[in-house]
Amino acid sequence: MESKRQQKFAGVLQEELAAIFQREGSAYLPNTLVTITKVRVSPDLAVAKVYLSFLNTSNTTLSVAEVNSHASEIRYKLGARIRHQARVIPTLTFFVDDTNEYVEHMDKLFDKISRDRKETDEEAD
């Protein structure tokens, strides 16, 4: 369970990282839209796990690796933006947020279950 302090700081990081990726994201991943879906911060606020979602990319693993290779540069830009709000600029680690893929998979399963039930009901009649 995250504390209020962690949640507030994560919100600030999410906003600022979104602005950085909106303005300068094409330098890291050309022709790809990057969305910051979630930020988790450690209790000491020194480590941040940033979950990303990508549009217009075929390989999300490669995209995350590319963003992680620029993590120190992104951290520097983040530091310039939040230096008056934070004592320590957290170390950033980027991950793929596969929530959308999971939701699509679950929707397909529910549709299949629904179709199977309809077929079973029709056979019973």
In SS3 terms, 79-99 reads as HHHHCCCCCCCCEEEEEECCH
Give yes or no for a contact between 60 and 54, defined as CB atoms under 8 angstroms apart.
Answer: yes
pLDDT tens for each residue of 54-81: 888 888 889 999 999 999 999 999 999 9
Pair of tokens at residue 124: 């019973």
Of the candidates 73, 35, 37, 78, the residue with the CA atom closest to the CA atom of residue 57: 35
Closest CA to 51 of 67, 39, 42: 39
pLDDT tens per residue across span 91-111 = 999 999 887 778 788 888 988
Q: pLDDT band for position 125 (50/70/90)?
A: low
Confidence of residue 117 (pLDDT cuts 50, 70, 90): confident
The answer as to CATH 3.30.70.270 being correct for domain 4-98 is no
Going by C-alpha positions, the residue among 86, 30, 54, 65 that lies closest to residue 78 is 86
Helical spans, DSSP H, in 2-98: 4-28, 60-69, 71-82
Bridge-based pairing of strands 33-41 and 47-55 is antiparallel
Mean pLDDT of the chain: 90
Residue 121 pLDDT? 76
Q: What is the share, in percent, of the chain residues with pLDDT greater than 70?
A: 98
Report the distance separating Cα 80 and Cα 95, nearest Å: 23
Boundaries of every domain in the chain: 4-98
Do 55 and 32 meet the contact criterion of CB atoms below 8 Å apart? yes
pLDDT at 101: 75
Q: Both tokens of residue 8?
A: 């507030």
